[in-house]
A and B are shown apart, each in its own frame.
Chain A
Amino acid sequence: AQSVAQPEDQVNVAEGNPLTVKCTYSVSGNPYLFWYVQYPNRGLQFLLKYITGDNLVKGSYGFEAEFNKSQTSFHLKKPSALVSDSALYFCAVRENYGGSQGNLIFGKGTKLSVKP
């Protein structure tokens, strides 16, 4: 069965420091991986995705993620955190049914708190 794990419920970072939000996955076949961010009382916003190609993927708001096939990980990173980055972050993997269909399986989310 395909699954996504976010091992940390909460990550605390000081403003200006680098941040990492961890994600590991389990899929059959090649993974399609995604990161989303959710601000309070809002829907999820798409940040970035890995489908194929370069293992380092760049996305919105200065975020990037590194795909590591041997460790089955897709950690979200940012070189210098901002207080405004404080939010709930979700990792997701797409089920591989083939063709254009396939639902996303979401992790339980990691709350990022950036302190001034």
Chain B
Amino acid sequence: DVKVTQSSRYLVKRTGEKVFLECVQDMDHENMFWYRQDPGLGLRLIYFSYDVKMKEKGDIPEGYSVSREKKERFSLILESASTNQTSMYLCASSSGRLYEQYFGPGTRLTVT
């Protein structure tokens, strides 16, 4: 079974803090993704990566950055957290051969 893990299930941070969300997959997938999920808005793509050290902006990259130093790990960074970044963050990975994405359990981030 594909396993995608995220470093925290719940996280509370203060406005202005730097926040790191970590994602690790164990299936040697080339592709990794970060989404945020908000009620009524569905899933929105923040950043994605098709290879190590490669990153591409998704639909809502403002206020975020990412890092992919190793194939299995994809980190999402909030340089200076703001209250409008309170959300559920979902990481996913996929193999080019299979097309479907496999998701981690999510991190519910609250910024106060």
A46-B100 contact given A90-B43, A108-B40, A109-B42, CB 8 Å threshold? yes
Q: How far is the CA of A109 from the CA of B30 in the complex (A)?
A: 27
Judge whether B90 and A108 touch: CB under 8 Å: no
B41: chain A residues at CB < 8 Å are 108
Judge whether B45 and A103 touch: CB under 8 Å: yes
Q: How many residues belonging to B are interface residues under a CB distance threshold of 8 Å?
A: 26
Once A and B bind, how many residue pairs between them come within 8 Å at the CB atom?
A: 50
Judge whether A45 and B103 touch: CB under 8 Å: yes
Q: Which residue of A lies closest to B106 (CB)?
A: A43
A49-B99 contact given A43-B105, A90-B42, A90-B43, CB 8 Å threshold? yes
- Residues B27-63 near A (CB distance < 8 A): 30-31, 33, 40-43, 45, 48, 50, 58
Judge whether B90 and A43 touch: CB under 8 Å: yes
Interfacial residues, chain B to chain A (CB-CB below 8 A): 4, 9, 30-31, 33, 40-43, 45, 48, 50, 58, 90, 92, 96-97, 99-106, 108
Interfacial residues, chain A to chain B (CB-CB below 8 A): 32, 34, 36, 41-46, 49, 51, 90, 94, 99-104, 106-109
